Chains A and B, each alone.
Chain A
């Protein structure tokens, strides 16, 4: 359970209000659609057979999950045959314990990390900190976030909520003299500074984008090159992967490589795709001497056995965030959990509990933009509806008034005479006397009209119109 997030979950509504009032955040979020979002659409438009490719990716994921136990066994066997070590973690705490025991057995007190949502999910940095191990994030955005003691607000652009001035200010803490708010100078500073950590760290910790069962290969993708440094310089490499990351064959990998970067940033491929097959081999001068893979369940087997199984297809590209009208208004922090946006609204309740995240499944207009943008076509809106259903069934999602109102509605819809009477009544009253648009609904219903008008019932019911006119114009020909 993400206890740091707990305090914030309850404040989803307040957090989104605050995000709406944050001018810089709003200007950055408004640019997402025309930058990352537009580049994604353009990249797929230019790719021949892109529709087929996305279906194929989805089919591979579906197939992989249908034989997941066998694939994981095969992956583990191959990695051990190459001289690597494989560990199994039922939850985040166990994963953190395994990492600590590996580090402590080598007496390592300094590690470098490359960006990994899975390590965010298990709060590894906090565990390392508590054990007195210095862990430095090396992805530029993550490094800034870590120094500022914040959380990432976007899957692929973790510091999107910060201005260049704020970033300069944060990095200046680490510099003998204040740094100017110029991107080149800031990245050059981070490069110099982080090189010292790379050179002296006892281990590198990474996530895993894909793992290939038949070859024992893990694949890590980055644009900056920090993932390569993390797996090249330190003598020990620890990779942590959610168990759903495994794919059966090497030939499946290019299918995902071709869609991942396009969906994330509109690039055809990210700058660096690393295929790591076991630790360094005899006579090699660089690469880790020791390789550990930690395979994490942390609720995933529960999801695999549920109607929300498809959420395990997610390749963490962030395309649904860029497409989502809700994310583009409230940003990542308002979601409270590790994963933001539409997929976060599914994943956070699944990993962290539905009840304390009860607002998230409702943080969507169900417009379907997320599913359209998703490179593996996850039916996100459908899953949000499922979660809403679960909330209602558990008595959590709705107030007694709402339940009573919907109960009445359902009762009425099952009885045509009641429905007919109600619509007749509505057209005779509101339909005749009220203006076309109602500016303000009474009582609690005012929440709906606070920002928009409510259409009043028409003065004539459809069924009356049909009986009097429509039937003659549009009805079946009478012979």
Chain B
């Protein structure tokens, strides 16, 4: 159907429907769930555990790296996809993993392959490591925007996914994330990830790891104390 004709029909219906509008009592806008003096990182880690994720608060870069290697080791990971991201660079993560004998893949390296070869590599990797833009304490959510150096597949295709979050990136409530976005244009893709992939499709029992990663880890990189 032509756009113009479609929209005219809708406009007509809007006008006719006006007298059937719903009665909604006027409400003050809902404010974000307050932190109320809670430690945002602890709150986030609790909620993350609730949704089946594994989290750790690491003090300093060294503990952060060690935490990641321990998790990768537990799953006998040999090949890992990485985002190209400031936080991971500051962490020196790529070198660290390579020294441990792991094969690492950065988007830059993948760019030189054909789409088909790239698919082979990305589908074959056993783990993906991303940074994050924010973490939301109230729901245990991590916010992952995509850019050319931050592919969507990294947190999606491998059975094990790890996100590195700086402690100051944790906010209390989802509303705060959306307030941040009002200023800047959205990237082509953003994933809000809340726990490992799961389904309740079999007799309402929870089963994890259907399509996305069944193992979801978040390390919160905090200051050394």
Contacts and interface: CB of A to CB of B under 8 A. Distances in A.
Given A66-B18, A232-B152, A283-B148, A52 B201 contact: no
Given A184-B207, A223-B199, A56 B10 contact: no
Contacts of B107: 285
Contacts of A282: 148
A445 to B, nearest CB: 37
Contacts of A139: 199, 201
A301 B9 contact: yes
A119 B26 CA distance: 36
B182 A225 contact: no
B151 interface: yes
A183 B207 contact: yes
A94 B1 contact: yes
B39 to A, nearest CB: 19
Interface in A368-390: 379
Given A250-B182, A304-B17, A310 B189 contact: no
Contacts of A68: 10, 13-14
Nearest to B19: A307
A229 B188 contact: no
Contact of A190 (B28, B188, B205, B210): B210
A89 B18 CA distance: 24
A443 interface: no
A228 B22 CA distance: 35
Contacts of A47: 33
Contacts of A226: 210-211
A199 to B, nearest CB: 6
B144 to A, nearest CB: 10
A284 B26 CA distance: 44
Contacts of A160: 203-204
Scoring A158, A163, A273 by chain B CB atoms within 10 A of each residue's CB, the highest score goes to A273
Given A89-B1, A267-B51, A55 B24 contact: yes
A251 interface: yes
B50 to A, nearest CB: 8
A436 B220 CA distance: 70
B143 to A, nearest CB: 10
B29 A271 contact: no
A167 B200 CA distance: 13
Contacts of A253: 178
Interface stretch (B56-64, B68-76, B93-101, B190-198): B190-198
Contact of B30 (A52, A164, A199, A265): A52
B216 to A, nearest CB: 9
Scoring B8, B14, B25, B156 by chain A CB atoms within 10 A of each residue's CB, the highest score goes to B14
Interface stretch (A28-36, A404-412, A427-435): A28-36
Nearest to B31: A49
A158 to B, nearest CB: 7
B138 interface: yes
B199 A187 contact: yes
A88 B9 CA distance: 12
A223 B7 CA distance: 34
A284 B210 contact: no
Contacts of B6: 72, 88, 90, 295, 297
B21 interface: yes
Contacts of A251: 178-179, 182
Interface in B155-187: 156-157, 174-175, 177-179, 181-182, 185-187
Contacts, number: 266
B1 A225 contact: no
Interface stretch (A103-111, A254-262, A336-344, A414-422): A254-262
Contacts of A267: 51, 194
B22 A69 contact: no
B223 interface: no
Given A272-B193, A305-B13, A285 B212 contact: no
A191 B211 contact: yes
B28 A280 contact: no
B119 interface: yes
Interface stretch (A57-65, A125-133, A391-399): A57-65
Given A62-B24, A138-B211, A285 B151 contact: yes
A287 B198 contact: no
A263 B99 CA distance: 48
Contacts of B196: 271
Given A199-B119, A270-B194, A287 B189 contact: yes
B110 interface: yes
19 contacts: A28-B204, A49-B31, A58-B22, A69-B14, A94-B1, A139-B199, A141-B199, A159-B202, A163-B203, A187-B202, A223-B198, A225-B156, A225-B213, A268-B138, A272-B193, A275-B191, A281-B188, A301-B13, A302-B13
Given A53-B30, A59-B24, A269-B174, 20 more contacts: A62-B21, A69-B14, A141-B201, A160-B204, A167-B202, A183-B202, A191-B211, A217-B186, A225-B211, A225-B213, A233-B119, A254-B178, A268-B139, A277-B188, A280-B188, A284-B148, A297-B1, A301-B9, A304-B16, A309-B21
A-B interface, 7 closest residue pairs, ranked by CB to CB distance from nearest: A225-B212, A141-B201, A305-B16, A283-B148, A301-B13, A225-B211, A268-B139
